[in-house]
Amino acid sequence: MNEAVSSLAQQDRAAGFDRVTRRAIVAATVLGAAWRIAMLINRWNLGLVFNDSVYYSYQAQHNAQGEWFRLVFTNGPGAEHPPVASLLMTPASLLPHLVSWQRATSTLLGIAVVPLIALLGLRLGGRRVAVIAAFVAAVYPNLWINDSLVMSESAAVFFVVIALLCAWQFQQRFDYRSAIITGVVVALAALTRSEMVALAPLLALIGFRSRPRLEWLKRAVVMLVVVGAVIAPWMIYNSTRFDAPVLLSANEGITILGANCDATYGGPKMGGWLTSCLNDVVIQPGEDASELSRREHKLAVQYMREHVRRLPLVVAARLLRTVDLYGLHDLVLIDMADQRGRVQSWGGILSWWLLAPLAAVGWWRSRRRCGWILLAPAISVFATAAIFYGAHRLRAPLEPVVVICAAMAMAGSALGQRLIGRVLAHPRFAALAN
């Protein structure tokens, strides 16, 4: 059975990006765009809530006015998040009704993710995987639920998919050019969501087992140097604005402290993040964001040391939250606080329960050919959850991998082969390609 599936996938990849496949992907993209635009219209006049969207929106506004990367309220230097998400929203901030156009920016990124996932599916599994992945990506709630929000999730998913496409090219060609391109895109992903910097060492391991050790080492070093070179200007810029070092963002302290207090170490909130964990922190006179973050980090580490016996259970809760097996009510409340609807959030949970087991099967079938590339985002997401907390928004970079791997499982099944084969071969559908 596995040999038959592998042979079919090879035939699909050899068939390439034919007209029928292209038209199917266009149809899926139109479907995904229509739904996302409908979501955008529904949220068009919706104001911001007091969460990270305020930071992204106001920082983009400051950028548009030539006051680059400022804090929301104090107008001091700001680096609570890496710069790319707010930079992408900066052009929209020059327009009237700027929050609405910032939402439109996020929506455009979400629409672009659909054909990008299809392209990744084509590269990794052939045209059947590409078509299935495109239609799943078009309707999968855990992708579109983040679009039209003034947040970083849509941009993070966008860059992660491109990074995986570049990583596949790097694995196939294993040349310096591919290593450089992969490094640039991984750096952009890290400058969108700081935890994505973990992709750099993970994807640098491409070729470790299959290539001569020195040959692998040279390309890995090149890729990592490129990542550092792209991130360096942001780090250097921050060194001129803050008293303490700021690598990618100045919110590490608040993130880790909000996940380490009595309320998140037991009860229904265990493994989550709460603003109440920050109640005892008072900004001191003359203290900038970097110094505050460093002090919050020390408080969090002190709390962890005092409750080290409880920590394994808390980490387990964080990981279970990440895979929707614990704290569902709290996860939905967090989604709603970020302007994701209750029904949408539950739709994402149910969809995850359906797709995640299929994704595990699909990954297992493809593990020898592209398993490490698809595993890298999963390692990054679960490591982030274990260190910080479990939430749907932190899982966002893993969602396109779930779609691709689930599509591989469906395309590899007898039912999936017959269904997609008949669709692509149907005279009326094939006529669209002419």
Question: How distant, in Å, are the alpha carbons of 53, 108, 261, 310, 313 from that of 266?
Answer: 28, 40, 9, 9, 9
Q: What is the pLDDT averaged over residues 44-58? A: 87
The band of 286, judged by pLDDT with boundaries at 50, 70 and 90, is confident
Whether the pLDDT of residue 293 is over 70: the answer is: yes
Q: Of 90-104, 134-148, 166-180, 277-291, where does mean pLDDT reach its minimum?
A: 277-291
Task: State which residues form the domain around 243.
Answer: 2-431
The band of 285, judged by pLDDT with boundaries at 50, 70 and 90, is confident
Q: Is 286 left (phi over 0), alpha (psi -120 to 50) or beta?
A: left
Q: Token digits for 388?
A: 């910080």
For residue range 161-185, list pLDDT tens digits in order. Answer: 999 999 999 999 999 999 999 999 9
User: For the CA atoms of 322, 326, 328, 332, what is the dihedral angle to 10 degrees?
Assistant: -30
Give a three-class secondary structure readout of the chain: CHHHHHHHHHHHHHHCCCHHHHHHHHHHHHHHHHHHHHHHHHHCCCCCCCCHHHHHHHHHHHHHCCCCCECCCCCCECCCCCCHHHHHHCHHHHCCCHHHHHHHHHHHHHHHHHHHHHHHHHHHHCHHHHHHHHHHHHHCHHHHCCCCCCCCHHHHHHHHHHHHHHHHHHHHHCCHHHHHHHHHHHHHHHCCCHHHHHHHHHHCCCCCCCCCHHHHHHHHHHHHHHHHHHHHHHHHHHHCCCCCCCCCCCCHHHHHHCCCCHHHCCHHHCCCCCHHHHCCCCCCCCCCHHHHHHHHHHHHHHHHHHCCCCHHHHHHHHHHHHCCCCCHHHHHHHHHHCCCCHHHHHHHHHHHHHHHHHHHHHHHHHHHHHHHHHHHHHHHHHHHHHHCCCCHHHHHHHHHHHHHHHHHHHHHCHHHHHHHHHHHHCHHHHHCCC
For residue range 220-276, list pLDDT tens digits in order. Answer: 999 999 999 999 999 999 888 888 888 888 888 889 999 999 999 988 899 999 988
Q: What local confidence, expressed as pLDDT, does residue 71 receive?
A: 80
Centroid of chain to Cα 330: 21
The band of 5, judged by pLDDT with boundaries at 50, 70 and 90, is very low
Q: Of 65-79, 327-341, 388-402, where does mean pLDDT reach its minimum?
A: 65-79
Whether the pLDDT of residue 289 is over 50: the answer is: yes
Using a pLDDT cut of 70, give the percent of the chain over it.
91
- At 232, which amino acid appears? A
Q: What is the pLDDT averaged over residues 367-379? A: 92
**Number of domains making up the chain:** 1
Q: What local confidence, expressed as pLDDT, does residue 415 receive?
A: 58
Q: What is the mean pLDDT of the chain?
A: 88
pTM of the predicted protein model = 0.90
Backbone angles phi, psi at 24, to 5 degrees: -65, -40
Question: How distant, in Å, are the alpha carbons of 257, 272, 327 from that of 333?
Answer: 20, 11, 10
Q: What local confidence, expressed as pLDDT, does residue 426 receive?
A: 55
Q: What local confidence, expressed as pLDDT, does residue 432 receive?
A: 46
User: CA Rg, the chain, in Å?
Assistant: 22
User: For the CA atoms of 111, 85, 279, 276, what is the dihedral angle to 10 degrees?
Assistant: 10
Q: Of 44-58, 128-142, 198-212, where does mean pLDDT reach its minimum?
A: 44-58
- At 403, which amino acid appears? V
Q: What local confidence, expressed as pLDDT, does residue 1 receive?
A: 44
